[in-house]
Every structure is written in C-alpha cells, then in structure tokens.
Amino acid sequence: MISRCAFVLINLDHFRDLGLKSFLQIAFYALRFDISMLLTVNSVYLVFLLLPLPLWLLPWWDKMLQWVFIGVNMIALAFEISDWAYFPFTLKRSTADVLHMVSRKGDFWTLLPHFITDYWYVPVALIALFILLVTVNRRIVKVTPVTSRPTGRYGVHFLLQTTVLLVACGLSIILIRGGLQRTPINNSTALQVASNKFVPVVISTPFSIIHSYTNNQLPELHYYSDVELKKYFDPVKQYSGKPFRKKNVVIIILESFSREFTGLGTQSYTPFLDSLMQHAYTCRKGYANALHSAEGIPAVVAGIPSLMDEPFTTSYYGTNRITALPGLLKQEGYTSAFFHGGTNGTMSFDVFAANAGYDKYYGRTEYNNDKDYDGNWGIWDEPYLQYFANMMSSMPQPFLTTVFTLSSHDPFKVPEQYKNVLPKGRLDLTQTMAYTDMSLRKFFQNAEKQDWYENTLFVFSADHACLLSDNPDTYSDMGVYSIPIVFFAPGDTMLRGYTDTIAQQIDILPSVLDYLGYSKPFFAFGNSLFHPASPRFTINELDNHYQWLMNGYLMKTKGLVTNELYDFTKPIMGVNNLAYSKNDTALQVVYPYFKAFVQLYNNTLIHDKMYVPN
C-alpha cells in the first residue's frame, strides 16, 4: 500500500482523473489482488514454516526461514518499486518479459548505473523498505528456544501441525485464486473494478509478472515501415457525410450458428431467422474470425480477430486499452449492457464486458431464477431472451445491448416440452438451433410491442460455426468458419437485400458506426460493409496456421510461410495449388497484404495501440 501511494503520486500526470475517493475505492478492491500476490510469493516460506517435522532441532533453521521470508519479499518489492520509474515508458505494470530482460546480457545491465543515477529515489526507497521489513520482522517473530519446543508426545504434535498445514494450504489456495468464483483472478480481472487507465493502480508489479509468466507473447514484426504499412492497411477509420442518428443497437450473438443450417446453407433449421433475412441486409459470405466463444465475442464487439493461441481476454495483452462499440457509443450518450444467461465468470465474459465499456453485465446471477437453468451452461434461451427484451424496455434510450445465446451448445439439449416438437436432423445441434430460432421469434414478438423497437438496429452474428457438419465435402477450409451475418432495422426500408461481398466478424464494429453516421476517427482492423473498401479480406488462425481470403484467392500458411494458394471461385479446392507456380501473380498480390495485416495486429497489441488517442 505504501508503494501504491508512491506509485500514484510519482506518476500523477498519468492519473489526474483519479480523485481521492476513487483511489481509496480502488485501494480497497486491490486488497484482493495484494493478498493473492503475497500468498503466492510467500507460499514456499509458509510450507516450510508449517512442516510437521522437528526442524526446530536444527539451530540454523529459524534464521534461514526468516531470511527466506526477507529475501523473497525484497525481490518482489524490487520489481514493484522499479515500476515507479519504469511505468511512464510503458503505461502499464511490468510483465513477465522484464524477467527475460534482466536475465540476459544486454542493454539492461549496461544502462542500470544510469537508471540508478537518474531515478535515485528507487534504490533509496528499496533500502528504506528493506530496513523497515527487517526491523519489523525481528520485532514480530519471537524465536522460541529449543529447550521449550515439544519434546514428548510428538505424534500429537505431528497430527496437530499437519492439520494446521492442510488448513493453511486450503485457505491459501482460495485466497491466491481470489475466492471461490469459477475463474481465478488475473491481470484482466482488474478491469471489473477499474478502467484500463487505472488497472496499474489496482494490481501490483509482482502480481502482473506472476500472472503473465505463462502467457505467450507475440513477436514484433518489421516487414514494412509505418508509411509503407498504411499503403496496405490504415487501422484508423473515419466515416462522414451523413448526420449521426441515435438508433438503439442490439447485437445478437448466436451460439454455434453454422451458416450451413440456416437459409443460406443446404438445409435450414431456422425458419424465423430466414424470414427476417428477407427484410434485412444479409451477407451470404459471412465468416467468423475465431473457432471459440471467448474469441468470437471480442471479434464481434471490438473487432479483434483471434490470431493467438488463447483468447484476447486472458492473453498477455488482456488489459490493453481497446476500441469497442460500447466505449465509443458511450461518448454519444448511449447506455449499454451485456447479457449472457451463463454462470457469471464463464469464459471471462464479464471481464471482457468491463474492458469493452459496457455499463452493466447480466448473467445467471442477475437473472436470479434457476427454475430456468438448463443443468449445464445456464438459462434456457427462450426465457432468457424474454428477460433480455424486458430489461431493454427499462433502459434509457439510446442504448447498445449485446446478448449471447447458449442453448445451441454441446450437449445440445432442448427443454422436454420441445423434444418431439422441433425438427431434428442427423446432428443434435440442429434441434438446438431450431429451439434458439423459436426463442428468437418469441423475442421479436415481445420486442415489436416496445417503444424502442422501430428505432433499433439489430445485428446478428454467430460467435463461431459448429465443427459438426452434414456435408464434410463443403465443410473444410473456410467452410468451418462460415456463419450468418445480418443487419436488420425495422424502421429503415433502405437496409435490405443480399450481398456477396465477403464479410467477417471484425467488419461489424466499423459497419455499425458507419451506419449510425459516427464521424469521429476510431481504430478498426476490419472495414465497413456499407463503405467502399479495398481490400476485402477475411483472416483466421489455428495453431499458427493462417487462412487469408482475398480477391477470390484463399492462401494458407504455416506461420508466415505460404504453403497453399487456391482460386476460391473454383468449386473444387485442394487440387490446383498455385503457391509454387512461377507464372501466377496472385501470390505476389495477396501475400504482402497478409504480411502487413499480421504486422499491424502483432505490433498494435504489443505496444497497446488498438485505439485512437483522445
């Protein structure tokens, strides 16, 4: 806490919006993270201290234990205090990469004397805290003389001490993980109690290092200069030319809704969604940028494709500042809420919602009626979508809401009363899609009676496609990412028709802003579907293998090395590989755009640049 106060005061220029009351609130919430960190750092010491063995018979044991205690805590404090000076260079708490920097020969050790001279208060504070820690520790710890230690009935002492050790370990594990909630706390959890800007005040540097140690980092790429990169991709978008219209925005993310099983595919199980597509702007060639829910949600809401081995939310970069629809529209007077009937904490959706700027998160806890619990993931779609419609009617307009359905997920069950009513194909998935589609129909029957309905833009997207298929011949390559993407505005007869323009989840953010007439600059990896853009592309990644669809060509790579290139307009894939054709110029056109995009993605995440500064 002493360090936290000093950290804020020394870097006050970066925390001018943080008043005393807010700081005290953050400091209170930070206790949860501090206790977790302290128990992690001191876990070895605690185990040694409580071992049910007669180690007190060793004259050096107690002194050794206390120096272990002093040593590990001083190492933690050294990293903590160094961020007093290092923070302005990174604007975040140091992460595990600082361990690699310190452990290898290089500039760090060369610059260390200069660092100590320029930031003299860091070593002075470290020495002062070392003296304080040693002094206070000596006063607290009373080493019991060996003659007064238990000598008889050692069996009783062993059982008692073993019980103490087990209880202490159990409590420590609970406190290290931050409580009994589903997901242990990590760096991103701080977003639930503070905005990105103040996350460094919530967490300590040792906590940040511990919880980023096992996370993979992206390599920084330098294929193109900043000027050259903008010739391929400029992530700063700005659409103007029409007045801003404060329409409500409702994003409906459908669990595992493969395009194959809708009216855009071979056999439909979604009659309501199909009928709605006829009165909407529907993308026949929509693709997901991810294969998992925790990756699909950031792609839809914040335009962040999944190009890492783990979801953005739990990744090394999970506390980065991002550009997301709720955060941008909040500046235009919008209120916002994220709805998901799953158990709170599932896949860190609540953490992402906080980072994206949603005002409220409504999960299974807030729904507060487990009579509608499906026994697996959360609340059945039918009652939860009614709850969603009713909750929006209590929100001030304009609002932005997002709901993520859950019933069309393995184990693919529907309520008993619908098992013999809804159509069921060869795959169990299809009946659950039919159930969610029926739930959507009832949701719209409720919604169209509300006063906000006519002034609303509805956006439909799947979080990802399902890996199950009735037609394996067409369900490969991009087929495994094929999803419906639909824009429906009941009060706008101009937003109609089908398009064959390739669309991806990361295009949704710029498309919504363009449709609303948002005229301020913003960061986006994707492009608006309502605005001329070049190039039109789709990207996805799995296990360091990329797929890049552009200009009618599908390119596959291992890492950044091209293995395959096909004419995507041909009905048969995998036959004519153009990647090694000397006469084909397609690769020369497509590959530079791919390299530029991956460089843009990696470097903006590494340097926390996925936003336009105010």
Confidence band of 143 (pLDDT split at 50, 70, 90): low
pLDDT value of residue 147: 46
Q: Are residues 194 and 332 in the same domain?
A: no
- Rounded to the nearest 10 degrees, the angle between the axes of helix 61-90 and helix 20-41 is 140
Q: Are residues 230 and 194 in the same domain?
A: no
How would you write 246-283 as a 3-class SS string? CCEEEEEEECCCCHHHCCCCCCCCCHHHHHHHCCCEEE
Instruction: Report the percent of the chain where pLDDT is more than 70.
Output: 93
Considering the domain boundaries, does residue 453 fall inside one?
yes
Q: Are residues 163 and 309 in the same domain?
A: no
Domain boundary among 175, 210, 245: 210
Q: Are residues 468 and 542 in the same domain?
A: yes
Considering the domain boundaries, does residue 119 fall inside one?
yes
Contact 318, 186 (CB under 8 A): yes
Phi, psi of 486 (to 5 degrees): -135, 140
What number is the average pLDDT over the span 36-63? 86
pLDDT tens digits, 238-280: 998 789 999 999 999 999 999 999 999 989 999 999 999 999 9
What number is the average pLDDT over the span 321-327? 96
Distance CA 482, CA 485 (A): 10
Q: Are residues 302 and 278 in the same domain?
A: yes
**CA angle, 52 then 58 then 63, to 5°:** 95
Q: Are residues 190 and 257 in the same domain?
A: no
Domain boundary among 210, 236, 261: 210
Task: Give the count of domains, the chain.
Answer: 2
Considering the domain boundaries, does residue 348 fall inside one?
yes
Q: Are residues 251 and 188 in the same domain?
A: no
Q: Are residues 196 and 78 in the same domain?
A: yes
Q: Which of 480, 530, 465 is nearest to 503 (CA)?
A: 530
Considering the domain boundaries, does residue 415 fall inside one?
no
Concatenated DSSP letters for 84-136?
A: HHHHHHHSS---THHHHHHHSSSHHHHHHHHHHHHTTHHHHHHHHHHHHHHHH
Q: Are residues 377 and 337 in the same domain?
A: yes
pLDDT value at 563 more than 70? yes
What number is the average pLDDT over the span 58-75? 89
Considering the domain boundaries, does residue 127 fall inside one?
yes
Confidence band of 540 (pLDDT split at 50, 70, 90): very high
Considering the domain boundaries, does residue 424 fall inside one?
no
Q: Is 240 helix (H, G, I), strand (E, B) or coil?
A: coil
Count of alpha carbons within 13 Å of 254, Cβ hemisphere only? Answer: 29
Reply yes or no: is the peptide bond before residue 532 cis, omega within 30 of 0: no
Q: Which residues pair with 361 in a beta bridge?
A: 338
Token couple for 445: 């029957």
Worst-scoring range by mean pLDDT, 148-157, 315-324, 536-545? 148-157
Domain boundary among 210, 245, 269: 210
Q: Are residues 272 and 132 in the same domain?
A: no
Considering the domain boundaries, does residue 510 fall inside one?
yes
Token couple for 467: 């890996």
Q: Are residues 146 and 269 in the same domain?
A: no
**Which CATH number fits the domain that encloses residue 318?**
3.40.720.10
Considering the domain boundaries, does residue 291 fall inside one?
yes
Domain range for 382 is 226-401+429-606
pLDDT value at 222 more than 70? yes
Q: Are residues 455 and 524 in the same domain?
A: yes
333 Ramachandran zone, left/alpha/beta (phi>0; psi -120 to 50): left
Q: How many C-beta atoms surround the C-beta of residue 275 within 10 A?
A: 12
Residue with tokens 């290290």: 176
Residue with tokens 């609130």: 25
Q: Which residues pair with 549 in a beta bridge?
A: 538, 554
